[in-house]
Chain A
Amino acid sequence: MDTDQLIRTLAADNSHCARPVGFVLALALLAAAPVSLLLFFAELGVRPDVMAAMHNPFFDLKFAVTLALASAAITVSLHLSRPEASLRGYGWLFVIPAGLLAAGIGGEMMLPQRLPMMTRLVGSNSKVCMTAIPLMSLPLLIASLFGLRHGAPAKPAVAGAVAGLVSAGLAATLYASHCTDDSPLFVATWYTLAAALVTVVGALAGSRMLRF
């Protein structure tokens, strides 16, 4: 086919207008959310003392951190779905969840604690945390990758990693309502490890799936 013919054909298809990446990503995440919620309510459920826990600022901080991570990752992933975009000017968004967590650790250090530091860090749910967050992330990760495939990321592995952070942030938000370990030290250790695992999976999947 000669190039003029191709150009004419593309011009004939001009009336087709694709949805914005954000719209497709939102739709995909909404479709996947019930699967993660089902996993959550079937296997974990909200902790029984949730009403009392809400008065504990360290319980609430978990949601601030995970939601800050999810929203930063969504913003960055949408930015990276444009071919000319890079992390520059956007990477700092990830400082917000990290900063909240660091402030939480600092705050906890200044308060008198019943349990020693290592006990708080190790907690009692680390195995559940390391399993549940990646598992609940999986449907959301597939959805994020699907949504970003609609874009044109110049660096597929980086975009995939950020998709991993989107799904890990959302899954961790669910998990936080189950987990009785509220110490920011626990969150900084195990949530971070779980999110890192999902991020690596996202990067690997992205490097294959997000090429355009």
Chain B
Amino acid sequence: MREGEDEWTGLMRSAIAGDSAAYHRLLKAITPVLRAAARRGLARAGQPVDQSEDIVQEILLAVHLKRHTWDADAPFAPWLFAIARNKLIDTLRRRGRRVFVSIDDFAETLADQPAAETVSAGEVAAHLNALPARQRDVLQSIAVESASIKDTAAKFAMSEGAVRVALHRGLTSLTAKLREG
């Protein structure tokens, strides 16, 4: 478990230095842990666990948009669990449940990470349609059609810079819409 966490810290340092592949690996590695914790949190709050993937996606978005608040000299796991805990509490509160979420919920799940699987969730997809056209098109292209930034730029006759801007704005407004519920 220690080893896994140290690996996360290393991957996040590389990610911040600009290594997108390391960042991708890190997000893949933390997802099963977040998923197990989200399920546990929902179960404890008496909520159907099939909504856990919405929470996982919300946590991933928050990790992404707030990663500049991580101190690169500190271990990554406590920061991650703090973000995750906050999102989990927030989501449950929005659904009218007040629960106590322990940081241990996350730490415990580190020991037995379930096999990686990909799961679909509805909330992000639903809000995607409400985005401004350009942001939606760019996100659709990159997320759903797996196009690269370069291909997306060519497809919409945009500069790569403009695609990057639309992508980031899209992710930011998506997060804002999720927060509004």
Q: Which residues of A contact B (CB under 8 A)?
A: 1-21, 81-84, 151-152, 154, 211-212
Contact = CB atoms under 8 A, between A and B. Distances in A.
B18 interface: yes
Contact of A4 (B68, B118, B179): B118
Which has the most chain B C-beta neighbours within 10 Å: A13, A18, A211? A13
Interface residues of B, number: 53
A10 B63 CA distance: 10
| In the A-B complex, the 10 residue pairs with the closest CB atoms | A83-B82, A84-B82, A11-B24, A4-B118, A152-B66, A18-B68, A2-B120, A9-B143, A14-B20, A7-B27
16 contacts: A1-B144, A3-B57, A3-B60, A3-B118, A4-B118, A6-B57, A7-B28, A7-B31, A8-B24, A9-B139, A13-B64, A13-B171, A20-B68, A151-B69, A211-B90, A212-B66
B164 interface: yes
Contacts of B179: 211-212
Interface of B: 15-16, 18-21, 23-24, 27-28, 31, 53, 56-57, 60-62, 64-71, 74, 78-79, 81-83, 85-86, 90, 118-121, 124-125, 128, 139, 142-144, 146, 148-149, 164, 167-168, 171, 179
Given A21-B69, A151-B69, A212-B66, 10 more contacts: A3-B60, A6-B57, A6-B60, A6-B124, A7-B28, A8-B146, A10-B27, A12-B142, A84-B74, A152-B69
A212 B27 CA distance: 19
Contacts of B64: 10, 13
Contacts of A18: 65, 67-68
